[in-house]
Amino acid sequence: MAGHITLTGVRQEFWVRPESGRDGKGLHRFLALDELDLEVRDGELVTLVGPSGCGKSTVLDLVAGLARPATGSVRLDGEEVTGPGLDRGVVFQQYTLLPWRSALGNVEFALESAGVRRAERRERARHYLDLVGLSDFAGRYPHELSGGMKQRVAIARSLSHEPEVLLMDEPYGALDAQTRERLQEELIGIWQRTGTTILFITHDIEEAVYLGQRVAVMSARPGRIKELVEVDLDRTSTSRDVRSTPEFARYRHRVWNLLREQTVSVAGADERDKNGKEVEKVA
């Protein structure tokens, strides 16, 4: 199975207006990502962690094809990403189920746009709902499902069209701690069974370390990959609480340190902002 993502020298800018009360006025060019390089290999599960506002979601938008980079290239299996496609599945943080369709209907929705025939659609939708453990809830509408269930349906929907890559943007951000842990374990299982390449974005260090074979730590303003941390943990044994092992704590601490260094440097960057060095003033 293919699903090789490469981002090379990616730069992304937006036009912004300063909030009232801040120095300066007029439009500025805001540098969201600069010289960002990232590679996710076939079948790999990479987590992208960084402080809030560092541009994590921008990276995901680029890979999903919802945006094009200002410069640099985003490639999937060597081909330039020019727009969204069914070779990539996306799970957003917000619940994005169609509220007027049942859980099953929501999964079928993805298959309809993939052009799967009606008879096969239902069967496949059931299969993927089963994969996320929701067979009994197929007929329920989103408002009758809990937050965790909604995200599972969204995951089933994204997997149903059998993408090469699954992109997840803080999908568990709004869930309670227990539900989140259970879904993390489920995701590992799904990843092992399907062999899908996964790029998982989070701001939660533990989540990043627990899920990622590699953790890409991002720096903010402008967003760059600061360091890639290889994580070598055995997550297969269900009897053992991986999160409480000393290895896990070491990895967690390493990522924590990397992010901590940054908070300090971001505070420094704020100072520079005022002198207009970081943010180019245009109008």
Partner 1 sequence: MPSTLIAERTEASLNPRQAQSARVRPGRQGRARVLTLGRTTLGLVLLAAIWEFAPRAGLVDPHFVTPLHEVLKAWWEMARDGSLWHQTEASLRRIGTGFGLAILVGVPLGAAIAWYRTIREVTTPVLEVFRNTAPLAILPVFMLVLGIGETSKDAIVCYACLFPIVLNTVSGVTNVDRQLLRTARVLGLSPVRTFTQVVLPAALPTIFTGIRIAGATSVLVLIAAEMVGATAGLGYFINYAQMNYLIPQMYAAILTTTFLGLVVNYTLVGLERRFSRWRA
Q: What does R_g of the chain's alpha carbons equal in angstroms?
A: 20
Q: Is 85 in the site for partner 1 (CB under 8 A)?
A: yes
175 lies in the site for partner 1, by CB under 8 A: no
Among candidate residues 194, 218, 265, the one with its CA nearest the CA of residue 50: 218
The answer to the question of residue 265 lying near partner 1 (CB under 8 A) is: no
Q: Which of 21, 78, 99, 246 binds partner 1 (CB under 8 A)?
A: 99
21 touches partner 1 (CB under 8 A): no
Closest CA to 133 of 117, 115, 156: 156
- CA trace torsion 185, 61, 15, 227 (10° rounding): 60
Residue of 66, 175, 228, 269 interacting with partner 1 (CB under 8 A): 66
Q: How near is the Cβ of 92 to partner 1 at its closest, in Å?
A: 6
To partner 1, the closest distance from the beta carbon of 100 in angstroms equals 4
Which CB sits closer to partner 1, 71 or 94?
94
Q: How far is the CB of 19 from partner 1 (least distance, A)?
A: 21
**Terminal CA-CA length for the chain:** 49
Angle at alpha carbon of residue 58, lines to 16 and 177, rounded to 5°: 115
- Which range binds partner 1 by CB under 8 A, 59-67, 130-138, 218-226, 268-276? 59-67
Nearest-angstrom CA–CA distance, 140 and 142? 7
Q: Reduced to 3 states, what is the DSSP secondary structure of residue 273?
A: helix
Q: Shortest Cβ distance from residue 70 to partner 1 (Å)? A: 20
* φ/ψ of residue 61, rounded to 5: -60, -40
Q: Can residue 86 be called a binding residue for partner 1 (CB under 8 A)?
A: yes
CB-hemisphere CA count at 13 Å for 167?
23
Residue closer to partner 1 (CB basis): 142 or 222:
142
d(CA 6, CA 74): 6
With tokens 């290999």, the residue in question is: 41
The answer to the question of residue 150 lying near partner 1 (CB under 8 A) is: no
Contacts of partner 1 in 196-235 (CB under 8 A): none
CA distance 203 to 209: 11
**Among the listed residues 78, 82, 100, 268, the single contact to partner 1 using CB under 8 A:** 100
β-partners of residue 31 are 13
The verdict on 104 binding partner 1 (CB under 8 A) reads no
Q: Which helix (H) or strand (E) holds 225?
A: strand 224-230
Of the pair 35, 179, the CB lying nearest partner 1 is at: 179
Q: Which range in 98-106, 179-187, 197-205, 231-239 contacts partner 1 by CB under 8 A?
A: 98-106
Site for partner 1, rule CB under 8 A: 64-66, 84-86, 88-90, 92, 94-96, 98-101, 109-110, 112-114, 141, 143, 146, 161
